[in-house]
Homo-oligomer: A and B are copies of this chain.
């Protein structure tokens, strides 16, 4: 089938875009909110910067390793299920043929219509296993090397995102001036990030920009209120 414009309209974000979004969404939000919160309670920018950098280190490592382990466990899960399906197709072909038939019964197909499909599967065990992986278990084959790339991209995006709200505290001596600059800078960055994210993920860009900015603003506002209340 030739590539039609129709196919291209069903847009889904690539894995790398998804990882950048995961890392940057939290990187822009949490260090921003923490720094804003602390500056509501503590006048020294040095403590805000220390806490902010500690948070960026902790957050980027935690999220990066989290992404690594998630991708690794997806790959392990896929491999384990594939081994099981390969064995089951050999050990109990009748049950597996029933399972193929079940998939199609849901869509209202009759036994006469289902039979040739089941028969086709039975003749090609390799494709049969692939079919069961995707349609019975809903699993996609993971890319090799995915876990390491995913970890790097998430951690890098978190660090890049986190340094934006922190920069004013590093460059300006006064915590309340730094807070104002950080708020303006980060809300702007969140809006741009939300807009671009919307473009890439097929959501409405303007709506995505507003949502992302509100999330960061709400988180920072809550952190600020709590820090001020207890300090």
Task: Give A residues with C-beta under 8 Å from B.
Answer: 1, 4, 6, 9-10, 25-26, 29-30, 32-34, 37-38, 41-42, 46-47, 49-51, 53-55, 57-59, 61-63, 65-66, 69, 73, 76-77, 81, 84, 88, 92, 95, 98, 102, 104, 106-110, 112-113, 116-117, 119-121, 124, 127-128, 130-131, 135, 137-138, 140, 201-203, 211, 214-216, 218-220, 222-227, 230-231
Contact = CB atoms under 8 A, between A and B. Distances in A.
Which of A34, A76, A88, A222 has most chain B Cβ within 10 Å?
Answer: A34
A76 to B, nearest CB: 8
Contacts of A66: 25-26, 215
A21 B66 CA distance: 11
A49 B211 contact: no
Given A112-B116, A131-B107, A230 B37 contact: no
Given A69-B215, A215-B66, A223 B26 contact: no
A146 B125 CA distance: 38
30 contacts: A6-B92, A9-B84, A10-B81, A25-B62, A29-B58, A32-B58, A33-B62, A37-B55, A41-B50, A53-B227, A54-B226, A54-B227, A57-B222, A57-B223, A57-B226, A58-B219, A61-B218, A61-B219, A61-B222, A62-B216, A65-B215, A76-B203, A106-B127, A107-B124, A109-B117, A110-B120, A113-B119, A117-B117, A135-B135, A138-B140
